[in-house]
């Protein structure tokens, strides 16, 4: 099981969001979900050896003030959970089972919830427990080089006045704009509760798909030109990689859309009716992302048809050229074969041309005339029109 495409560090761009390093071949996994080992006990935590140590950040705010604190231990967050202010506890990293189990004790997480949070990747979903709402989402970010993306699981545990988020990586997320809005008191986020915070973060995750899809739109345009003008074996590999990565995006956004829809349809005591209205907009964005993914997948499938058609047309042009050349030389070969029998005896049935003084040049002129006649005939039929394109391709 591979939970993400890359663990490499990222760099912040000018807008404050982060782009990830491109995934290596060994780390790349586009379609796997986590599954338990047969016979394992419920609530078993499986942590990767290279997972980063959890980094716990607390942002506590109300309408008048906001505080950001780095918590040394999970127990340090306990005093903030019962206050009237909104407490956002952001856990970045899954590299310590002890810290994660202590975190589960502080937030009174059900063992199955902790298992879903730690054992990544899980299918995006929404589950409600006693006084807690659990949302598992999938976040994607474009790579630094503009090709491909990295994927990361983000888990939300929503309580009455707090929101616990658990991320796989300490640096890769799309939450910086939300952090800035809390810090600068922009927008309405500090005027609402923890449910509005959960909606805002979930909305940024959905919106994070659009930059990735924009890159794939440009990539598809480049591939369209390539498959028509100069299709190669590398073009085929690019198309297969594109289809595979679009399938990954589909597997990420499809269940995410269904989870948001079920949340809107079923509701929850922890989400106010006002926030449910905002979630409808988040659902609309998810539907739009899914429509774009489906459109790009259809375009990628059509690229394969165009590639095969281009290769087939190129082969047909080559075969036409070879056929024309063969057709020109077939009658010449026949004549040369007939005269190659070299019957030069006194029999009246032998070829009289073999003893003519001008016999050889006459036959050569005859063969040249036949070749010129065939070339003119093929040219009049338009069979030479596309031969120049073979060399260009």
331 pLDDT tier (thresholds 50, 70, 90): confident
Distance separating alpha carbons of residues 263 and 128, to the nearest angstrom: 10
> Looking at the predicted structure, is the pLDDT value of residue 137 above 90?
yes
Distance separating alpha carbons of residues 356 and 351, to the nearest angstrom: 10
> Looking at the predicted structure, is the pLDDT value of residue 376 above 90?
no
Residues in the chain, overall count: 393
Q: How far apart are the first and last CA of the chain?
A: 43
163 pLDDT tier (thresholds 50, 70, 90): very high
Distance separating alpha carbons of residues 50 and 27, to the nearest angstrom: 12
Mean pLDDT of the chain: 82
Distance separating alpha carbons of residues 261 and 259, to the nearest angstrom: 5
Q: Where are the domains of the chain?
A: 1-190, 312-392
Of the listed ranges 94-103, 225-234, 255-264, the least confidently predicted one is 225-234
Q: Going by C-beta distance under 8 Å and a sequence separation of 6 or more, which residues neighbour residue 87?
A: 58, 59, 60, 77, 80, 81, 161, 162, 163, 194
Distance separating alpha carbons of residues 341 and 67, to the nearest angstrom: 104
Distance separating alpha carbons of residues 306 and 316, to the nearest angstrom: 15
353 pLDDT tier (thresholds 50, 70, 90): low
Bridge-based pairing of strands 86-92 and 162-167 is parallel
> Looking at the predicted structure, is the pLDDT value of residue 7 above 60?
no
Distance separating alpha carbons of residues 233 and 253, to the nearest angstrom: 31
User: pLDDT tens digits, residue range 183-196?
Assistant: 998 888 999 999 99
230 DSSP assignment? -
User: pLDDT tens digits, residue range 9-38?
Assistant: 333 333 333 444 444 433 444 446 665 566
> Is residue 229 a contact partner of residue 279, using CB atoms and an 8 Å limit?
no
Nearest residue to 124 (alpha-carbon basis) of 289, 270, 243, 10: 289
- pLDDT, residue 303, reads 87
> Looking at the predicted structure, is the pLDDT value of residue 68 above 90?
yes
Give me the mean pLDDT over the 55-84 stretch. 92
- pLDDT, residue 387, reads 53
Of the listed ranges 88-97, 152-161, 371-380, the least confidently predicted one is 371-380
297 CB neighbour count, 10 Å cutoff: 17
Give the count of alpha carbons within 13 A of 375, CB side only.
8
Distance separating alpha carbons of residues 134 and 158, to the nearest angstrom: 6
User: pLDDT tens digits, residue range 37-58?
Assistant: 665 667 678 888 888 899 999 9
372 CB neighbour count, 10 Å cutoff: 11
- pLDDT, residue 25, reads 36
Give me the mean pLDDT over the 332-336 stretch. 80
Nearest residue to 27 (alpha-carbon basis) of 46, 6, 48, 9: 6
- pLDDT, residue 14, reads 32
- pLDDT, residue 180, reads 93
| Tokens matching residue 91 | 């856990």
Candidates 3.10.450.50, 3.30.1370.60, 3.40.50.10260, 3.30.460.20; correct CATH number of 1-190?
3.30.460.20
- Proportion of the chain above pLDDT 90, given as a percent: 42
For residues 294 and 329, which has the higher predicted lDDT (pLDDT)?
294
User: pLDDT tens digits, residue range 292-321?
Assistant: 999 999 998 888 888 877 777 777 777 777
Helix H segments across the chain? 97-106, 111-118, 176-184, 194-207, 209-229, 233-266, 273-339, 359-380, 387-392
Q: Going by C-beta distance under 8 Å and a sequence separation of 6 or more, which residues neighbour residue 353?
A: 339, 359, 362, 363
> Looking at the predicted structure, is the pLDDT value of residue 258 above 70?
yes
Of the listed ranges 3-12, 117-126, 248-257, 337-346, the least confidently predicted one is 3-12
Give me the mean pLDDT over the 136-164 stretch. 88
For residues 197 and 377, which has the higher predicted lDDT (pLDDT)?
197
Bridge-based pairing of strands 18-19 and 125-129 is unpaired
């Amino acid at each position: 099981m591979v939970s993400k495409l890359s663990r490499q560090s990222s760099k912040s761009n000018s807008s404050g969001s982060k782009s990830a390093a491109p995934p290596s071949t060994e780390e790349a996994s586009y379609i796997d979900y986590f599954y338990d080992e047969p016979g394992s006990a419920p609530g078993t935590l499986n942590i990767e050896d290279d997972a980063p140590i959890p980094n716990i950040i607390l942002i506590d705010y109300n309408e008048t003030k906001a505080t950001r604190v780095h918590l040394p231990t999970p127990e340090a967050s306990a005093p903030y959970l019962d206050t009237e202010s909104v407490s956002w506890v952001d856990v970045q990293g899954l590299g310590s089972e002890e810290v994660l189990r202590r975190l589960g004790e502080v937030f009174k997480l059900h063992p199955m919830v902790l298992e879903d949070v730690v054992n990544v990747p899980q299918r995006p979903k929404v589950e409600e427990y006693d006084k807690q709402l659990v949302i598992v989402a999938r976040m994607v970010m474009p790579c630094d080089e503009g090709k491909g993306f990295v994927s990361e699981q983000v888990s939300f545990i929503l309580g009455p006045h707090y929101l616990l988020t658990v991320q796989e990586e300490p640096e890769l997320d799309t939450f910086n704009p939300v952090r800035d809005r809390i810090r600068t008191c922009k927008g309405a986020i500090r005027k609402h509760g923890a449910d509005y915070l959960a909606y805002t973060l979930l909305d940024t995750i959905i919106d994070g798909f659009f930059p990735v899809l924009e890159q794939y739109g440009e990539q598809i345009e480049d591939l369209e030109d390539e498959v028509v003008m100069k299709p190669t074996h590398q073009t085929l590999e690019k198309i297969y990689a594109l289809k595979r990565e679009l399938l990954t995006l589909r597997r990420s956004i499809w269940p995410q859309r269904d989870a948001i829809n079920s949340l809107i349809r079923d509701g929850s005591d922890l989400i106010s009716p006002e926030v449910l209205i905002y979630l409808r907009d988040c659902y609309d964005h998810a539907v739009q992302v899914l429509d774009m993914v489906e459109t790009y997948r259809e375009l990628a499938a059509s690229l394969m048809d165009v590639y095969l058609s281009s290769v087939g047309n190129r082969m047909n042009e080559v075969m036409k050229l070879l056929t024309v050349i063969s057709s020109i030389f077939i009658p010449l070969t026949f004549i040369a074969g007939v005269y190659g029998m070299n019957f030069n005896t006194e029999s009246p049935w032998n070829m009289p041309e073999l003893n003519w003084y001008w016999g050889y040049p006459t036959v050569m002129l005859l063969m040249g005339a036949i070749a010129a006649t065939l070339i003119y005939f093929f040219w009049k039929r338009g069979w030479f029109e596309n031969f120049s394109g073979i060399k260009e391709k």
